[in-house]
Amino acid sequence: MIMKKSILASLLGAAVFVSCGQNVQKNDVPVYLDEDSPLEARVEDALSRMTLEEKVRVLHAQSKFSSAGVPRLGIPELWCTDGPHGIRPEVLWDEWDQAGWTNDSCVAFPALTCLAATWNEDMSAVYGKAIGEEARYREKDVLLGPGVNIYRTPLNGRNFEYMGEDPFLASRMVVPYVREVQKNGVAVCVKHFALNNQETKRHEYDAVVDDRTLHEIYLPAFKAAVQEGGAWSVMGAYNLYKGQHLCHNEYLLNGVLKGDWGFDGAVISDWGGTHDTAEAITNGLDIEFGTWTNGLSGATSNTYDSYYLADPYLAALRSGEASTEVLDDKVRRVLRLIFRTAMNTRKPFGSLCSPEHYAAAREIASEGIVLLKNEGEVLPIDLSSAGRIAVIGENAIKMMTVGGGSSSLKVQHECTPLEGILAAAEGKAEIVYERGYVGDVSGRYNGVVTGQDLSESRSEQQLIDDAVALASSSDAVIFIGGLNKSAHQDCEDSDRYGLGLPYAQDKVISALAKANPRLVVVLISGNAVAMPWAGEAGGILEAWFGGSESGNALADVLFGKVNPSGKLPFTFPAKLEDNGAHALGAYDPESDIAEYKEGIYVGYRWAEKMQTEPLFAFGHGLSYTEFEYGEAVCLRKTVRHGADVTVSVDVTNAGKVAGKEVVQLYIGDDNSSVDRPVKELKGFRKIALEPGETQTVTFTVTPDMLKYYDSSAGGWVLEPGTFTAYVGSSSADIRTSVRFEIK
């Protein structure tokens, strides 16, 4: 049985601000004991009853993942858990080591790159609902996620935790996630705010970004999470901006987040992200976690009263150096968070490891898989006539839910790709496995152990020879490789060394292609990789980190049970120098300065500006059927400034099987007075069509979608003129366009 916290609060419900259970009044003002009372009234009532010491105590951690409440008033402590792909196992009070619980396993949901690749807001809602239920059942108050930092460079080790390179896509996908999680009485903590786009020197580098780039590229997803999703907490980033650490940054926390956006929730520091008491007091931080006892910077255990927002803050308040007005604002924000979560007696009970959650994980994973190439229609594989299928590659057998940093999980169950393939092919086809290469044989993180024995005695060449021999004698070959969650791959706290695949996988794939033309390459990763063998493989799938049901989801797509409908949420460049940050020398892992020289030209924006052909474009993804587009229609081609524009297009499934298509809308400003991208994503719609079925897809283009950020004016500007609406299947596959004019 899971231990329940805050039993007093549960029993008393909302009536927790009375001493000895008596109804009282203070200065003839009613005491708000009823949960139906306005939130702000309840917050003010609680605040008025707290001592100075109690106020400070709720502003910093009391353990690795909890902050204190006010026992005297029945205000419960606040418990956080790492996400955003599953609920982290319990650790000891003051250590990262496992607490040894036997009931803290979870369902691992696909990485957020996979969710973004669904291009389906409904899938985001399913994801948020399911992970929110797991967090609620485990009595967690704050889920540390989702992450919406923009994919600036394919070397960032933490890209797999985020939602791609485009601010519009990330904005639309994050909102349903936030809303559905919080319906469970669990707060999201949207992270890492902001400009946290590399892991190398993440505690030291100062991001130098112009205001236009900041507001057009790096802030929109956070803004949507706060203003549309209603996020209850936000996590500051480790790095610096304008010379200040982002866990206490005047411009972004006080100016933008709390000022411009009206955020009324709490800002939580990343673990070990606080560095100065004075800045933490004045520059927007509300709850401090991880300082000194975080295992990163080391110190004596249980030093929570020495945190920057603990005894040093209390001393500043007592001496008059710090303002009680600022203190009360912080405490109000923390109380709102507690009332919305730990003190919410009407939240649902949640559920853990339910069949519905596994079904959700499988559906999201399969819908996010991207079919990059299908030459000669090597996919789907027909199991009724497949004969012998060779499965090759370490990633076919390696568990991927353990490792990678704070998103590492202790799962109840993980179906590997080989297990999923074997289950689907049972009694229909012969499946034979060869390893092909050796990557990471370890399988542990923070005390969670996979139990897999991946030791290998064969040499690299012998592994290749054995794989080629199997491929030569098989009817089809499925190579499953890519990256893993080891350091310098898809992993927190380190960036990749390059764009290429590790462990000599290119050599293995090329050898397999020569041995058998019916080769399908499956990549498991959260990042783009180089593919010098792309012309040799018949089929290529990007399968991401698929979570607990990754193997079953992959088998569903490989064998045609599910028609792939995923689209890339970021560009796969042909070479690293085709990425803007790298082309301009603006990614330097040795520097303390990260200068975003590419400005607004991130991802496909840069590729189109420089007219470079990517390996696979943003928004690209094939299907087992074909979709035909009609002509785009704009009902009113001339509209007044401030009016909406409607763009419609008919899309037909011209193939023989049912499928889903993501219809994408991009807008280009034809005669802007400032430099703007060729086009930018401003709408997408995922539709399901039976063979021969036609559906009309309609987009509404609002004035805000046409604006650019004017740094000199400090705001958004819509210029009259002519715009082009581009409609297609990817950023590089535009099927139709129509022009309209803003008067």
Q: Cβ–Cβ contacts within 10 Å for residue 457, how many?
A: 6
Q: Take residue 126 and report the two structure tokens written for it.
A: 């399913």
Residues sharing a CB contact under 8 Å with residue 510, sequence separation 6 or more, in sequence order: 532, 533, 536
CA distance 81 to 83: 6
β-sheet bridge partners, residue 623? none
Half-sphere CA count of 194, side-chain side, radius 13 A: 22
Peptide bond between residue 194 and the one before it cis (omega within 30 degrees of 0): yes
Q: Take residue 605 and report the two structure tokens written for it.
A: 């924006």
The length of the chain in residues reads: 743
Peptide bond between residue 192 and the one before it cis (omega within 30 degrees of 0): yes
Residues sharing a CB contact under 8 Å with residue 122, sequence separation 6 or more, in sequence order: 176, 686
Q: Take residue 448 and report the two structure tokens written for it.
A: 């969670």
Half-sphere CA count of 185, side-chain side, radius 13 A: 19
**What would the DSSP string read from start to end of 325-350?**
HHHHHHHHHHHHHHHHTTT-TTS---
Q: Quick one: 675 exposed, middle or buried, by C-beta within 10 A (0-12, 13-18, 19+)?
A: exposed
Q: What is the dihedral of CA 378, 383, 389, 391, to 10 degrees?
A: 80
Contact 519, 537 (CB under 8 A): yes
**What would the DSSP string read from start to end of 42-76?**
HHHHHHHH--HHHHHHTTBBSSSSEE--BGGGTBP
CA distance 400 to 416: 8
Contact 342, 119 (CB under 8 A): no
β-sheet bridge partners, residue 653? 627
Contact 525, 532 (CB under 8 A): no
Contact 61, 346 (CB under 8 A): no
* 270: annotated active-site residue: yes
CA distance 334 to 308: 17
From the candidates 45, 104, 166, 270, give the one annotated as an active-site residue. Answer: 270
Q: Cβ–Cβ contacts within 10 Å for residue 102, how many?
A: 5
Active site residues: 270
